[in-house]
């Protein structure tokens, strides 16, 4: 199996969390025997190149780059009422409101930059790439990992020729990777049991895995790697805003939910005022909604106001351990070996 060639000390992939999984987190992951992932979904092509340069200046170990497969200028109903609601919300809580003129970076340009960097792995979420794009990855010696939230999505990635499939359970924090169905997903254990007998490429399990005991449960089922995200949010190398860290420690309560209101695509985060007040309100599709709320989220962060920040976290976030990645890796290794 090609994953064995990565020579990982731990069967752990650190989730590619956009805005969080930057060069420092990737480097720390690699230096502690795990597969690090650059969360490049919202990076400019130049930022991708710069981040890869930082990673390679620190280590020669293989790593993953993750991209969002999206249309950066989609058609949408400008009269749906989303802009008006966001304008009113901003006024209510004294935020400046601005209509964005661009919505996201071009995926084609991001893909070209990532291909140029030639990482060991490119992973994709939100949609599936074309056959020519997958072939281009393989022609450059790059393995491809596709994200799936259902058996149909996993089979679609396998048919395309993906080298591995990351299964995202409903427990996972952040954005959902669904692309063939509006169903937001099922529990990871159920998804793994459905997919493993039908898939011939390595499977990676993601969603609600917080320690080595959780990890071992899926490794014993036959997955090649486990992917952990929320666990690493709590590490200092993630460089999270203080208000987000406090929320992970429980100052906003221990409830998460799936909401489309921050970005236009369902994502799991800790419930706060914005999520509560946006329930049942109109919203634009991703990435338009994401662009419309960007200023509000930035201002909230500057004010250390967690009520209006996107506090992405998985369902099991109360079990997070706020320790450096070096210590976390040792804990995970011991727990996996003893389970």
pLDDT at 265 over 90: yes
pLDDT at 1 over 90: no
Q: Compute the distance between CA of residue 309 and CA of residue 324 in angstroms, rounded to an integer.
A: 24
pLDDT band at 54; cut points 50, 70, 90: very high
* pLDDT at residue 183, rounded to an integer: 87
* pLDDT at residue 295, rounded to an integer: 97
pLDDT tens profile 208-235: 999 999 999 999 999 999 999 999 999 9
Contacts of 279 by beta carbon, 8 Å cutoff, 6+ apart? 259, 261
Average pLDDT, the chain: 97
295, 98 Cβ separation under 8 angstroms: yes
The pTM (predicted TM-score) of the whole model is 0.96
In order, the DSSP letters of 217-272 are: HHHHHT-SEEEE-HHHHTSGGG---HHHHHHHTTBTBS-EEEESTTTSS-EEEE--
pLDDT at 86 over 90: yes
Q: What is the mean pLDDT of residues 300-308?
A: 96
The share of the chain scoring above pLDDT 90, in percent, equals 98
* pLDDT at residue 182, rounded to an integer: 83
Sequence ranges of the domains in the chain: 2-338
pLDDT tens profile 156-186: 999 999 999 999 999 999 999 999 988 889 9
Q: Compute the distance between CA of residue 114 and CA of residue 48 in angstroms, rounded to an integer.
A: 7
pLDDT band at 62; cut points 50, 70, 90: very high
For 2-338, CATH gives 3.20.20.70
Q: Which sign, positive or negative, has the C-alpha torsion 293, 294, 296, 300?
A: positive
Burial of 85 (0-12, 13-18, 19+ CB in 10 A): middle
* DSSP SS3 for 85: helix
pLDDT tens profile 95-110: 999 999 999 999 999 9
* pLDDT at residue 94, rounded to an integer: 97
pLDDT tens profile 129-138: 999 999 999 9
154, 198 Cβ separation under 8 angstroms: yes
Q: Compute the distance between CA of residue 253 and CA of residue 181 in angstroms, rounded to an integer.
A: 31
Q: Compute the distance between CA of residue 275 and CA of residue 40 in angstroms, rounded to an integer.
A: 25
* pLDDT at residue 181, rounded to an integer: 82
pLDDT band at 262; cut points 50, 70, 90: very high
pLDDT at 56 over 90: yes
pLDDT band at 52; cut points 50, 70, 90: very high
* pLDDT at residue 337, rounded to an integer: 96
pLDDT tens profile 317-332: 999 999 999 999 999 9
* pLDDT at residue 225, rounded to an integer: 98
pLDDT at 275 over 90: yes
pLDDT at 255 over 90: yes
């Amino acid at each position: 199996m090609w994953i064995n060639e990565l020579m990982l000390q731990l069967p752990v992939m650190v989730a590619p969390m956009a805005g969080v999984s930057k060069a420092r987190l990737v480097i720390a992951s690699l230096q502690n025997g795990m597969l690090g992932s650059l969360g490049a979904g919202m990076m400019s092509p130049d930022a991708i190149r710069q981040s890869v340069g930082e990673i390679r200046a620190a280590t020669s170990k293989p790593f993953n780059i993750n991209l969002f497969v999206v249309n950066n200028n989609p058609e949408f109903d400008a009269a749906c009422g989303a802009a008006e609601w966001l304008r009113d919300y901003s006024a209510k809580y004294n935020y400046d409101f601005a209509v964005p003129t661009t919505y996201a970076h071009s995926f084609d340009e991001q893909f070209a930059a990532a291909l140029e960097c030639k990482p060991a792995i490119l992973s994709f979420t939100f949609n599936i790439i074309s056959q020519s794009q997958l072939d281009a990855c393989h022609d450059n010696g790059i393995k491809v990992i596709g994200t799936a939230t259902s058996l149909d999505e996993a089979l679609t990635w396998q048919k395309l020729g993906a080298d591995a499939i990351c299964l995202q359970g409903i427990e996972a924090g952040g954005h959902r990777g669904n692309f063939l169905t509006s169903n937001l997903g099922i529990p990871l254990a159920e998804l793994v049991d459905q997919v493993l007998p039908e898939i011939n490429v390595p499977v990676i399990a993601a969603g609600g895995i917080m320690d080595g005991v959780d990890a071992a449960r899926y490794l014993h089922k036959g997955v090649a790697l486990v992917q952990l995200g929320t666990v690493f949010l709590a590490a200092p190398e993630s460089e999270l805003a203080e208000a987000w860290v406090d929320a992970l420690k429980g100052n906003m309560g221990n409830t998460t939910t799936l909401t489309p209101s921050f970005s236009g695509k369902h994502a799991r985060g800790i419930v706060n005022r914005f999520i509560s007040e946006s329930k049942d309100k109109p919203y634009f599709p991703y990435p338009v909604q994401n662009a419309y709320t960007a200023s509000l989220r930035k201002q909230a962060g500057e004010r250390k106001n967690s009520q209006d920040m996107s506090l992405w976290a998985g369902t099991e976030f109360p079990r997070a351990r706020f320790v450096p990645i070096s210590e976390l890796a040792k804990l995970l290794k011991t727990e996996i070996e003893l389970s």
